[in-house]
């Protein structure tokens, strides 16, 4: 991993000096012969993966680099392994001596790093830029679960919900935002939500529904209605209409691929996706 390095005499000044000007450096005094050190290294690897842009894990193997370890140990007052020294702007800001739990390490880092919900929000924004709506929704949802009072998180999550046609969720979030927080971004998201809600029951959908009601055995009409409902974000209704088609004829036209495509468009872990997968399995097997 790019933000995990092994410290030696050649890169010491660069990592502890230059790198710590841009990122928080965790200088990890360890021995590969120590089970406690190995266990804590796994925790550090996990944290490093979460904070790739904010921290660097600088591992100093005290067995392989004895002279360097001895020199640095005197400077920091090292007494036991493992020991973590947090460096910022080329200076120590904290020292964690002995084996630490994950929560203890995270608590120490929290004073020097962005909050977890802020990181998740940034990941959601980056995923949006890449048009990865599934990942964006999951990141923003996690951020909201950590802090459900953050207005910016609410608006980003609302924006994503509109794009994946979870309009009821988007509307509910928008309605919780107080008037003093209703800025230009809020007005933009609110307008997008209202436009999407207006399109949910278009004249085309109404007309197609009337045709389906008149000719209930016409599977082609039902397939066309499902497509319109899906386009308007009414995914559960679209799935239900297609399911009725599949109950009549499991191999009718594009009903099954369309059914599966709608499920695939839902976020990971979505209850609606699980519900209609089960319904499909009930007629497949």
Summarize pLDDT for 76-110 with one digit per residue, the tens. 888 899 999 999 998 999 999 999 999 999 999 98
pLDDT in tens, 184-212: 999 999 999 998 888 888 889 999 999 99
The yes-or-no verdict on residue 215 having pLDDT over 60 is yes
**Angle at which helices 102-110 and 35-50 cross, to 10°:** 50
In tens, the pLDDT along 151-183 reads 999 999 999 999 988 888 999 999 999 999 999
Report pLDDT for 104. Answer: 96
Mean per-residue pLDDT over the chain, rounded? 92
In this prediction, residue 160 carries a pLDDT of 95
pLDDT at site 29:
97
**Which structure tokens are listed for 141?**
């949802």
Decide if pLDDT at 1 tops 70.
Answer: no
Q: pLDDT at position 32, please? A: 94
**Spatial separation of the C-alpha atoms in residues 255 and 284, rounded to whole Å:** 14
pLDDT for the residue 197: 86
Task: Name the CA dihedral angle for 57, 60, 61, 64, rounded to a multiple of 10 degrees.
Answer: 140
For 155, the token pair is 């608006």
Phi then psi for residue 56, to 5 deg, are -130, 130
The per-residue pLDDT for 165 is 85
The confidence score (pLDDT) of residue 153 equals 96
Task: Report whether 151 contacts 174 (CB < 8 A).
Answer: no
Q: Is the pLDDT of residue 34 over 90?
A: yes
Q: Is the pLDDT of residue 245 over 60?
A: yes
Residue with tokens 């599977």: 219
Res 285 pLDDT > 80: no
Query: What's the pLDDT at 6?
Result: 96
Note the pTM of the prediction, 2 decimals.
0.63
Band of the pLDDT at 220, cuts 50, 70, 90?
very high
Q: pLDDT tens digits for 248-276?
A: 999 999 999 999 999 988 887 888 899 99
Q: What is the pLDDT of residue 96?
A: 96
In tens, the pLDDT along 112-152 reads 988 889 989 999 999 998 989 989 999 999 999 999 999 99
């Amino acid at each position: 991993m790019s933000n995990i390095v092994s410290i030696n005499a050649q890169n010491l000044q660069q990592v502890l000096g230059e790198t710590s000007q841009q990122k928080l450096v965790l200088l990890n005094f360890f021995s590969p012969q120590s089970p406690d050190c190995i266990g804590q290294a796994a925790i550090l690897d996990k944290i490093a993966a979460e904070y790739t842009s904010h921290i660097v894990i600088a591992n100093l193997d005290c067995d392989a680099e004895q002279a360097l370890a001895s020199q640095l140990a005197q400077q920091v007052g090292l007494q036991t392994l493992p020991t973590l020294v947090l460096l910022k702007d080329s200076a120590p800001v904290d020292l964690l001596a002995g084996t630490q739990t994950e929560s203890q390490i995270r608590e120490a880092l929290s004073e020097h790093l962005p909050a977890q919900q802020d990181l998740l929000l940034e990941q959601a924004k980056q995923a949006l830029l890449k048009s990865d709506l599934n990942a964006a929704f999951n990141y923003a949802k996690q951020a909201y679960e950590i802090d459900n009072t953050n207005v910016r998180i609410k608006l980003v999550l609302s924006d994503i919900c509109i794009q994946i046609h979870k309009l009821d969720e988007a509307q509910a979030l928008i309605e919780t935002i107080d008037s003093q927080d209703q800025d230009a971004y809020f007005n933009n998201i609110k307008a997008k939500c209202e436009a999407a809600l207006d399109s949910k029951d278009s004249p085309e959908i109404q007309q197609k529904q009337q045709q389906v009601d008149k000719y209930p055995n016409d599977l082609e009409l039902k397939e066309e209605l499902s497509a319109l409902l899906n386009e308007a974000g009414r995914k559960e209704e679209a799935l239900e209409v297609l399911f009725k088609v599949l109950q009549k004829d499991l191999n009718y036209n594009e009903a099954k691929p369309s059914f599966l495509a709608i499920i695939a468009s839902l976020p990971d872990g979505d209850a609606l996706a699980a519900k209609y997968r089960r319904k499909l399995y009930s007629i497949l097997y």
